[in-house]
Amino acid sequence: MGQAVPDGSICWQRGANMLAMWVKVRIKPGERERFLKAIEVDALGSERDEPGCMRFNVLQDAQDNNTYYFYEVYRDEAALEAHRAAPHYAVWRAAADTLDGAPQATRCLSVFPAAASYWDKKSASGA
């Protein structure tokens, strides 16, 4: 449940601290298989092994087979730093030469779903 703060807005107990990342990457033609193997290791390892990683989705652009998007949600900044120190992240970084240019990352705040129970599903399911 949200709490009112002095400026009249609602501060969600869990959602206000969540850090979401929207990352766009473009891969070099001919590097798709290697890229997908590396990002799969990172995405699955993140959700499986990191208590602070609430979501890690990988999406492919419907119009451009060489463009991908990552949607990542972390409990807080410390969880993002833990992600970057994880062994599966090193697998992803080792494949960075598959990219055609630098990743374009946008930091976001999670607005909805805001209920702590939604984000706690991960813990309850044993993921």
DSSP the chain: -EEE-TTS-EEETTTTT-EEEEEEEEB-TT-HHHHHHHHHHHHHHHHHH-TTEEEEEEEE-SS-TTEEEEEEEESSHHHHHHHHTSHHHHHHHHTGGGBSS--EEEEEE--SS--HHHHHHHHHHT-
pLDDT of residue 13 exceeding 60, the answer is no
Where do the domains of the chain lie? 18-110
Q: What's the pLDDT at 113?
A: 75
pTM of whole model > 0.75?
Answer: yes
Q: Report the Cα 12 to chain-centroid distance in Å.
A: 20
Cα dist from 116 to 12, 36, 73, whole Å: 9, 32, 14
Half-sphere exposure of 87 (CA within 13 A, CB side): 3
Task: Tell me the average pLDDT across 20-48.
Answer: 96
Q: What's the pLDDT at 18?
A: 83
pLDDT digits (tens, 9 = 90+) for 59-106: 999 999 999 999 999 988 999 999 999 999 999 999 999 999 999 999
Q: What's the pLDDT at 16?
A: 52
The yes/no answer on whether domain 18-110 falls in CATH 3.30.70.100 is yes
Do 2 and 10 touch, CB atoms closer than 8 A?
Answer: yes
